[in-house]
Amino acid sequence: MDVLKKLSEYREKINDELERLLDEKIENAKKEYPGAADYLEWIRDYNMRGGKRLRPAFMVAAYEGVGGKEMDKIYKASASIELMEGYFLIHDDIMDQDDLRRGGPTLHVAYLDYYKKHFQGSEMRAKRFSEGMAIIAGDYVQSLAVEALLNSGFDQARIVEALKVYEYANQSTNFGQFLDMLSEEMKAEEVTEEHTMNIHKTKTSIYTIEAPLLMGWALGGGSEEQREAFSNYAIPLGQAFQLQDDILGMFGDVKKLGKPVGSDLRDGKKTILVIKALEKGSPEQKKKLLSLLGKLHITEQEIEEAKQIMRDTGALDYTRNKARELASEALEAIENVELAEEAKQYLIGIAEYLINREV
């Protein structure tokens, strides 16, 4: 199977549904809340800028895998998990104080520009206004996500089961963000591999893979065996995906990535690469790596020094091998369960793509 072609097919239909839903909300706002129509246009733009649509694609594939046939309904429902991502990203941009998202301004930055064009006030008032408006936007998108699931047309009992999974993902991701922000302030030597892998589980495995699969499973009326297999596939795959992301962030090809490597080091992130290098390194290597971790104006030469420490201590090999082991665990779980063949081949193929990708 050409898994990227299949993902593209999923993405086209998911985008059509997202566009229909958001356009409908804009038209309704023009009639009922005229002042809010522009606000919703910005939300529409933010959510339609791009993205692989991996999460809703996982949801649709799981639904097909357990024998679901009502494709119009599942595409309507799949908008919910993509809008959940939009809600998280809007709030995440504020917490990280990011200016750009998918090639465009983040919502709080867009509203900062809006404030300066239309109002006069202090920098503090402008910041409070812009971040407040973005928080409201995120909350609205969260509400819209739930509404998309409720209005999908599925049997009420199945919608309730899917909503339980949705809230499980919502709460798990919030816990993961809490742990992640906590680790940012902890000393590097205090952050353990277990702590970091738990962040990967809650922020990547559950929200990106397990929850979409289980929502599709719930709406398709799958078996308990299938549910267990989806979870056993999702958790290690999400962790492997994040480890591969960490490796690419330090050792990837700049031309393929389209961005400089070493940003995780500059941001002071305690990845498994860093944790293992500190654990296995000599006193000199530890001292050097700690001096570079979180260094705002780190040079290319210093990034190369950090990379060499990660190679020499075995941190790179450890991380790479752990990602492969987790990926094998995920593939074994999905290969041994009864699913519609095309959906199974997609899940196998997308797993292999995620762990072998170079971007």
User: pLDDT of 70-88, one tens digit each?
Assistant: 999 999 999 999 999 889 9
What HEC string does the chain produce? CCHHHHHHHHHHHHHHHHHHHHHHHHHHHHHHCHHHHHHHHHHHHHHCCCCCCHHHHHHHHHHHHCCCCCHHHHHHHHHHHHHHHHHHHHHHHHHHCCCEECCEECHHHHHHHHHHHHCCCCHHHHHHHHHHHHHHHHHHHHHHHHHHHHCCCCCHHHHHHHHHHHHHHHHHHHHHHHHHHHHHHCCHHHCCHHHHHHHHHHHHHHHHHHHHHHHHHHHHCCCHHHHHHHHHHHHHHHHHHHHHHHHHHHHCCHHHHCCCCCHHHHCCCCCHHHHHHHHHCCHHHHHHHHHHCCCCCCCHHHHHHHHHHHHHCCHHHHHHHHHHHHHHHHHHHHHCCCCCHHHHHHHHHHHHHHHHCCC
Q: Which CATH architecture has domain 59-67+154-359?
A: Orthogonal Bundle (1.10)
Q: List the beta bridge partners of residue 100.
A: 105
Phi, psi of 101 (to 5 degrees): -145, 120
Nearest CA among 311, 162, 316, 189 for reference residue 244:
316
Query: How far is Cα 178 from Cα 281, in angstroms, rounded to an integer?
Result: 29
Most confident of 34-38, 247-251, 342-346: 342-346
Give the residue from 135, 184, 6, 156 showing the smallest Cα distance to 73: 156
Evaluate the CA torsion angle 281, 287, 293, 296 in order and state its sign.
negative
* Domain spans in the chain, listed from the N-terminal domain onward: 1-48+71-153, 59-67+154-359
And the tokens for 87? Answer: 């809600």
> How confident is residue 23, by pLDDT bands cut at 50, 70 and 90?
very high
Query: Which of 330 and 35 is assigned the larger pLDDT?
Result: 330
What is the C-alpha to C-alpha distance for residues 77 and 145, in angstroms, rounded to an integer?
A: 9
Confidence label for 208 from pLDDT (cuts 50, 70 and 90):
very high
Q: How far is the C-alpha of 283 from the C-alpha of 278, rounded, in Å?
A: 9
What values do phi and psi take at 293, rounded to 5? -70, 115
Q: Which pTM was predicted?
A: 0.91
Q: What percent of the chain has pLDDT over 90?
A: 69
CA distance 28 to 352: 43
Q: HSE of 37 in the Cβ direction (CA atoms, 13 Å)?
A: 12
User: Band of the pLDDT at 58, cuts 50, 70, 90?
Assistant: very high
C-alpha to C-alpha distance for 147 and 78, rounded to whole angstroms? 11
Mean pLDDT, the chain, rounded, equals 92
How many CB atoms lie under 10 A from the CB of residue 41? 14
Look at residue 259 in the predicted model and tell me its pLDDT: 59
Q: What is the pLDDT of residues 242-291, one digit of tens each?
A: 999 999 989 987 666 655 678 788 888 899 999 999 999 999 999 999 99
Give the span between the Cα atoms of 319 and 336, in whole angstroms: 26
Which among 102, 71, 122 is positioned nearest to 340, based on CA atoms?
71
Q: Is the pLDDT of residue 355 over 90?
A: no
